[in-house]
């Protein structure tokens, strides 16, 4: 069952805004992950098994060594995973 209430609606809307934001996909993905973690921590959204998988995949995609720039394949993978997160948000 998905989370209900104003907090859940606001969290979903904010995550979707971050996913759709202009700018570099990697930066948007990091912001979306941070907002999702915040929503889970404050109880606005409930974790789903699928969201946990998507977040784990996204965090691996965003992992970088110090000074390493992410782009190209990382950005494309992040876009793909963010779309999956967007679809799963209504179940969270």
Which residue has 């789903």 as its token pair?
48
One digit per residue, pLDDT tens: the chain, 92 residues? 578 888 999 999 999 999 999 988 888 999 999 999 999 999 999 999 999 999 999 988 887 644 555 556 777 888 999 999 999 999 88
Residue 88 contacts by C-beta under 8 Å, 6 or more apart in sequence? 48, 50, 51, 54
pLDDT recorded at residue 66: 45
Going by C-alpha positions, the residue among 41, 45, 36 that lies closest to residue 15 is 36
Give this prediction's pTM: 0.84
Going by C-alpha positions, the residue among 5, 4, 15, 12 that lies closest to residue 82 is 15
d(CA 38, CA 42): 6
């Amino acid at each position: 069952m998905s989370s209900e209430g104003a907090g859940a609606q606001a969290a979903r809307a904010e995550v979707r805004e971050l996913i759709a934001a202009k700018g570099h996909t990697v930066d948007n993905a990091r912001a979306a992950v941070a907002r999702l973690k915040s929503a889970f921590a404050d109880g606005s959204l409930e974790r789903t098994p699928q969201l946990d998988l998507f977040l784990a995949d996204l965090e691996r995609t965003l992992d970088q060594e110090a000074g390493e720039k992410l782009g190209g394949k990382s950005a494309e993978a992040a876009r793909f995973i963010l779309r999956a997160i967007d679809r799963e948000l209504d179940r969270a």
